[in-house]
Structure 1
Amino acid sequence: MKTMFKKPGPSPAPPRKRTARVRLTELCAGYPGRPVLRQLSADIPGLAMTALVGPNGSGKSTLLGVLAGVIHPTSGETHHHGELPPAFVPQRGAVGDTLPLTVRQTVEMGRWGERGPWRRLTRRDHATVDAALDRLGIGGLAARQLGELSGGQRQRALIAQGLAQESDLLLLDEPTTGLDPEARERIGTLLTDLVADGVTVVQATHDLAAARSADACLLLRDGHLAGQGPPDQVLTTSALAEIWQPA
């Protein structure tokens, strides 16, 4: 008896991963008795570095808080097209020097969203933490206390915590403020590499050099969008002079 074998067909293509991108529509947000963002509509492109630029009080950190889900809009809409919740890296000053945390413990907190703070991390969690430490070049600092680190080392530990969340949208609040030129350049190179690896990066910054090296820019003033687009078109001398002129 002759047995007939059916020739297998081509393997199905793996599901296509969605690119993280964000659309804001007439967004209003702020704090009790203090509105900050006012009717803000903008697009944040996927697989790109977007810089949020503006003076203190312009709404950069509030917008990051909305994108991270820690501040709820009072009106308007936010559409995040991505696979996972965003990863948020706060300013270094938001994490106290006196907290009894090692670098490894700090990065492990990035896995709490998967396991919760009271559950033991899995082997895969530990591998993810190790990969984040290595990616930031701080594996040798894993046992050090946060308060013992330089500003650049501490910032890299916080970014490693964000990487450990394995999100496709990374939000950073002033990641290079107060760092020396070498540390700023190292972090800038790292963020560029992350975009090349498929991560959408949004950073609030006062560093105009970092903003000009981004792919896109949102220029904010008094909670309003003053400009958006490529940095060379948005961060013009006249626009910056107008934004930073005294009220």
Structure 2
Amino acid sequence: MRGRNLSFNFDGAPVLQNVDVDLRWGTVTAIAGPNGAGKSTLIEILAGVRRAVAGTVVRAAEVALVVQTVSAPDALPLTVQEVVLMGTWGATADASVKIDARERRIRVAQALDRVQLADLAAAPFGNLSGGQRQRVLLAQGIARRARIFLLDEPAAGLDAQSRERTRAILAAEASRGAAVACVSHDEDSIADATSVIRLEGGFRVG
């Protein structure tokens, strides 16, 4: 994935200014910087959730976006397995290629196993902790066979063990050839990353 000269304004105030990004296959990129530096905005532009006022983004493969706060009503009538299954909807770039029910089940089972949530497949999604919900969305992207993973503060609010588990999952996806980028204030996550993009005042400084 590549972004060039990305700029974004909010209520007329510049949030990002001429930022270049290269996310390479098989790597984990940390996006770091102080609050208000434009990190989350950059992730959203890369994912296509927001549109830059200037610049271009080239996405060479499917993208999975994992947001910081995964909210869901307590009574949401969806299980963990069903949320992950959504990742297989329209999961091929070639519309002529159909995924049958057996292939979908295999993908979902493999994805839940990789994020260590197979034992919660039948649990209501709304009953999960914040960290578990993030891992379910990661599994959704894995089931979709996404090759680009974009995460906004995946370590926020998690205990040390959960942060370590998330880092290991992201490293494993990178080792399989995915391009992974995550906004982070977590020093361990930043230190473990293959490369670091640092933002300050909307500019890239590293």
TM over 0.5: yes
TM-score by length of 2: 0.88
What's the % identity of the aligned pairs? 40
Shift of residue 106, structure 1, vs aligned partner: 1.4
Q: Which residue of the partner structure matches residue 72 of structure 2?
A: 96
Shift of residue 32, structure 1, vs aligned partner: 5.3
Query: Would you say the 8 A contact 2:83–2:136 is kept in 1?
Result: yes
User: Are residues 142 and 30 of structure 1, via their aligned partners in 2, closer, same or farther at CA, if it must alter by over 3 Å?
Assistant: farther
State the Cα deviation string for residues 106-152 of structure 1 (Å, max 9, x = none): 1112123438xxxx973212221111011112111011112322333
Give the 3-state SS of the residue equivalent to 1:218 in structure 2. strand
Shift of residue 219, structure 1, vs aligned partner: 0.4
Unaligned runs of 5+ in 1: 1-21, 228-247
Shift of residue 87, structure 1, vs aligned partner: 1.2
Within a 5 Å distance, the mapping from 1:75-114 to structure 2 comes to 75-80=54-59, 82=60, 84-91=61-68, 93-98=69-74, 99-114=76-91
Whole-angstrom distance in 2 between the partners of 1:190 and 1:203: 13
Give the 3-state SS of the residue equivalent to 2:77 in structure 1. coil
The alignment's C-alpha RMSD in Å is: 2.1
Greater gyration radius: 1
Query: Would you say the 8 A contact 1:97–1:146 is kept in 2?
Result: no
Structure 1's consecutive aligned runs of 4 or more residues displaced over 3 angstroms after TM superposition are: 30-35
Within a 5 Å distance, the mapping from 1:228-239 to structure 2 comes to none
Higher RCO (CA 8 Å, separation ≥ 6 residues) = 2
Q: Which residue of the partner structure matches residue 204 of structure 1?
A: 183
Q: Which residue of the partner structure matches residue 232 of structure 1?
A: none
Within a 5 Å distance, the mapping from 1:136-155 to structure 2 comes to 136-155=115-134
Q: Which residue of the partner structure matches residue 126 of structure 1?
A: 105
Query: Would you say the 8 A contact 1:173–1:203 is kept in 2?
Result: yes
TM-score by length of 1: 0.74
Unaligned runs of 5+ in 2: 93-98
Shift of residue 85, structure 1, vs aligned partner: 2.3
Give the 3-state SS of the residue equivalent to 1:210 in structure 2. helix
